[in-house]
């Protein structure tokens, strides 16, 4: 499981996230410990209410743990100010959302540039870097197009380009194929595979086995805890799906 | 060094980016932006137009003061505003010629005095030609120095003209030309009413821009003070000059004191006359201008307030429409301050555009005002400081009313915002 030759990127220790709803206390995360190493490709799975969204928010530094500690790139996230967290999100995390979250009035290029607007050093080279990263996701001919002139798959590629522009430590994708048909989904997942081969650390949050089976490590969540954490080859759920598909093909 | 440069650079970056985004946003919502800024446009347009009108009036009055001298004093009877004499007949408070005797000797700061006998407007004839509505005034010798209006040809009135009540007159060049008199018209005869007067001199034309009578043709005939009584009972006043401009107010006070004694006005009773100078007229004007400015300012304040509420409303709509955008921006690393700046600058830019259009409309209004005939506003113009004030106000409205929506946007939780439908 441990990959000694790679850097430790994420280290969660006994992380709790407790919401108060009225007098009730909801343990969205109930003591989660997790290590993720550089260039891992992880899928976090679980039914709704299992805590995977909260997990994604905490990993993405959008939310702070109520208790426990979270080290990202050897930095303690738990005690950071809002402004420092914003900077961490800007420099170390690339988000890909289910509904793309592109700004309709901006061109693909301008959309990709957005994170660099808030970056200290990237601002001056934003145009050049946005073009490079659009080329990397295979959209160099769609630079000037606005989101409504792009197909769903192209939109998600723009979103991936936007996530990559700051060279993040982790690419965090929340149901990245949830709004796409199966064929375009395959395209996006191939893009993720390619990024993984290029050395990108990727975490996908999904409930679809067909998406999760691209990852190398599968984490199942249940009731705010990690239910299982195994390499893909050993994961029973994924294996049964793959076996089913193989049987159908016969 | 680089670290020192970083702060202004970061500020510039944020500012540039926010203005860029704001203009894009305003351009996307053109109709809405136009409707929103109407309040600001009206406010700024009216304040600039009012200031322009007042500035024009002031310029006119100042020009007047310069042409007529800063030490000229006008004395004329006037009903007081209070006391038993406030309804007195004009006849009872009129000046008699002897009221002004001895004034020069008793008022050390007054250097010259000319009693004035206004006999109203008459029709002047010379041969077949006639001119109606010519102002006829009886004057004394000092008039020329007090009003800075020398004789162009011929002579002034002599003491003998006055003492012997001679029927002689001075006319202005325009009247001479209108009556088709010779260029050197000395000795020619004109008729005022039914009486014949011989012209002894041509007096310099009075300056064009005189406050109070705009545009219409204006001709003057001057006759010796005592001769005026032959035409009709004149309305008597006086023009005086102080030794210099610095002692103008002292001279006015001395004249007042002297006249109160001569006219037997008891202590505590109000004056039955006025001793005015263009300087005091200027002060009166300044007071009126201040009141007008304050009233206009109040109206403008209300319209800016209404405009500001409109801006706030539209910014709140904008924040709620763009909740997901705000969530996205925060997720990719926008700090609170960046979101705050973005929305604040958007509302300020909106107000500035309103201000710009407002100044444009104000200029049009000013041009319209300046072209109304006979209203003395032909010199109206918008001074640079008024434009600065307008933009200052517009900007303040933007900051003040944009602050609440901007804070609201900055405080949004990114997780909630991204979940917003």
Find how far residue B117's CA is from the centre of its chain.
30
Q: Could you list the pLDDT tens digit for every one of the 250 residues in chain A?
A: 445 567 899 999 999 999 988 889 999 999 999 999 999 999 999 988 898 989 999 999 999 999 999 999 989 999 899 999 999 999 999 999 999 999 988 999 999 999 998 887 777 788 999 999 999 999 999 999 999 999 999 999 999 999 999 999 999 999 999 999 989 999 999 999 999 999 999 999 998 888 999 999 999 999 999 999 999 888 888 888 888 888 887 7
Distances (CA, A) of A189 to A41, A192, B54: 12, 5, 72
Where in B100-224 does DSSP place strands (E)? 110-126, 129-139, 151-154, 168-171, 189-192, 195-203, 220-224
Kindly list the domain boundaries of chain B, sorted by start residue. Answer: 15-64+283-419, 79-271
In degrees, rounded to 5, the angle at the alpha carbon of residue B301 between the alpha carbons of residues B300 and B302 is 90
What would the mean pLDDT of B339-343 be, rounded to a whole number? 93
Q: From the CB of residue A71, how many other CB atoms can be counted at a distance below 10 Å?
A: 16
Residue B282 confidence class, pLDDT cut points 50, 70, 90:
confident
Q: Do the chains contact at B332 and A63, CB–CB below 8 Å?
A: no
* Mean pLDDT for all residues in chain B: 87
Q: From the CB of residue A105, how many other CB atoms can be counted at a distance below 10 Å?
A: 17
> What pLDDT score was predicted for residue A1?
46
Q: Do the chains contact at B332 and A95, CB–CB below 8 Å?
A: yes
> What pLDDT score was predicted for residue A164?
94
> What pLDDT score was predicted for residue B223?
94
Confidence check: pLDDT of B209 > 80: no
Nearest C-alpha in A relative to B416: A62
pLDDT tens per residue across span A21-44: 888 999 999 999 999 999 999 999
What is the least distance, in Å, from the CA of B366 to any CA of chain A?
Answer: 40
| B325 touching A (Cβ < 8 Å) | yes
| B324 touching A (Cβ < 8 Å) | yes
> What residue ranges define each of the domains in chain A, with the CATH number in brackets?
41-53+85-249 (3.40.50.300)
Instruction: List CB contacts (< 8 A) between A123 and chain B.
Output: 13
> What pLDDT score was predicted for residue A56?
93
State the residue for tokens 């441990």.
Answer: A2
User: Residue A228's closest CA among A50, A66, A71?
Assistant: A50
What would the mean pLDDT of B305-324 be, rounded to a whole number? 92
In chain B, pLDDT over 70 holds for what percent of residues? 96
CA distance A14 to A173: 23
Confidence check: pLDDT of B100 > 50: yes
Determine the residue among A57, A63, A95, A101 to mutate to test chain B binding: the one whose Cβ has the most chain B Cβ atoms within 10 Å.
A101
Nearest C-alpha in B relative to A63: B415
DSSP state of B1: -
């Amino acid at each position: 499981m441990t990959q000694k030759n790679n850097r430790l990127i994420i280290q969660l220790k006994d992380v709790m996230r407790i919401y108060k709803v009225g007098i009730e206390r909801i343990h969205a995360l109930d003591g989660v410990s997790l290590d993720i190493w550089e260039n891992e490709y992880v899928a976090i799975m679980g039914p709704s209410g299992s805590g995977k969204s909260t997990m994604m928010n905490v990993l993405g530094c959008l939310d702070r743990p109520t208790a426990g500690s979270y080290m990202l790139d050897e930095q303690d996230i738990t005690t950071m100010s809002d402004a420092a967290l914003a900077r961490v999100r800007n420099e170390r995390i690339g988000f890909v959302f289910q509904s793309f979250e592109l700004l309709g009035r901006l061109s693909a290029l301008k959309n990709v540039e957005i994170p660099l607007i808030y970056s200290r050093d990237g601002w001056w080279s934003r145009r050049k870097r946005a073009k490079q990263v659009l080329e990397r996701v295979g959209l160099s001919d769609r630079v000037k197009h606005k989101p409504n002139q792009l197909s769903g798959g192209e939109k998600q590629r723009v979103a991936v380009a936007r996530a990559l522009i700051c060279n993040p430590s982790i690419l965090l994708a929340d149901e990245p194929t949830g709004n796409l048909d199966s064929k375009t989904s395959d395209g996006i997942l191939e893009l993720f595979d390619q990024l993984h081969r290029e050395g990108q650390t990727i975490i996908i949050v999904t409930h679809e086995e067909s998406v999760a089976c691209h990852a190398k490590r599968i984490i199942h969540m249940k009731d705010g805890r990690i239910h299982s954490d195994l390499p893909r080859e050993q994961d029973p759920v994924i294996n049964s799906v793959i076996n089913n598909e193989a049987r159908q093909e016969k | 060094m680089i670290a020192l440069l970083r702060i202004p650079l970061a500020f510039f970056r944020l500012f540039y980016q926010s203005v860029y985004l704001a203009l894009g946003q305003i351009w996307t919502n053109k109709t809405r932006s136009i409707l929103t800024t109407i309040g600001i446009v009206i406010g700024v347009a009216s304040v600039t137009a009012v200031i322009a009108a007042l500035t024009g009036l002031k310029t006119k009055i100042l020009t007047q003061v310069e042409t007529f001298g800063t030490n000229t004093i006008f004395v004329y009877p006037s009903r007081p505003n209070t006391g038993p004499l406030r309804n007195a007949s004009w006849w009872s408070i009129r000046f008699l010629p002897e009221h002004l005797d001895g004034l020069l000797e008793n008022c050390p700061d007054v250097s010259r005095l000319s009693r004035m006998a206004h006999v109203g407007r008459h029709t002047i004839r010379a041969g077949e030609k006639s001119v109606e509505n010519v102002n006829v005034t009886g004057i004394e010798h000092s008039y020329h120095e007090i009003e800075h209006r020398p004789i162009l040809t011929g002579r002034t009135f002599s003491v003998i003209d006055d003492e012997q009540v001679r029927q002689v007159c001075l006319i202005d060049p325009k009247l001479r030309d209108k009556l088709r008199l010779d260029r050197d018209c000395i000795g020619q005869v004109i008729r005022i009413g039914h009486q014949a007067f011989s012209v002894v001199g041509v007096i310099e034309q009075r300056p064009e821009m005189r406050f109070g009578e705009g545009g219409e043709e204006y001709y003057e005939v001057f006759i010796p003070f005592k001769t005026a009584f032959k035409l009709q009972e004149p309305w008597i006043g006086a023009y005086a000059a102080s030794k210099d401009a610095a002692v103008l107010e002292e001279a006015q006070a001395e004249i007042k004191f002297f006249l109160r004694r001569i006219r037997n006005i008891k202590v505590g009773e109000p004056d039955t006359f006025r001793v005015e100078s263009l300087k005091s007229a200027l002060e009166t004007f300044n007071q009126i201008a201040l009141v007008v400015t304050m009233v206009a300012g109040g109206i403008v304040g209300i319209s800016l307030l209404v405009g500001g509420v409109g801006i706030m409303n539209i910014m709140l709509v904008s924040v709620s429409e763009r909740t997901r955008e705000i969530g996205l921006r925060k997720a990719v690393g926008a700090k609170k301050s960046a979101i705050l700046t973005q929305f604040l600058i958007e509302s300020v830019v909106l107000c500035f555009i309103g201000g710009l259009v407002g100044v444009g409309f104000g200029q049009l209004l000013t041009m319209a005002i300046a072209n109304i005939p006979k209203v003395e506003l032909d010199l109206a113009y918008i001074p640079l400081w008024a434009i600065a004030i307008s933009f200052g106000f517009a900007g303040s409205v933007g900051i003040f009313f944009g602050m609440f929506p901007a804070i609201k946007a900055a405080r949004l939780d990114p997780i909630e915002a991204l979940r917003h439908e």
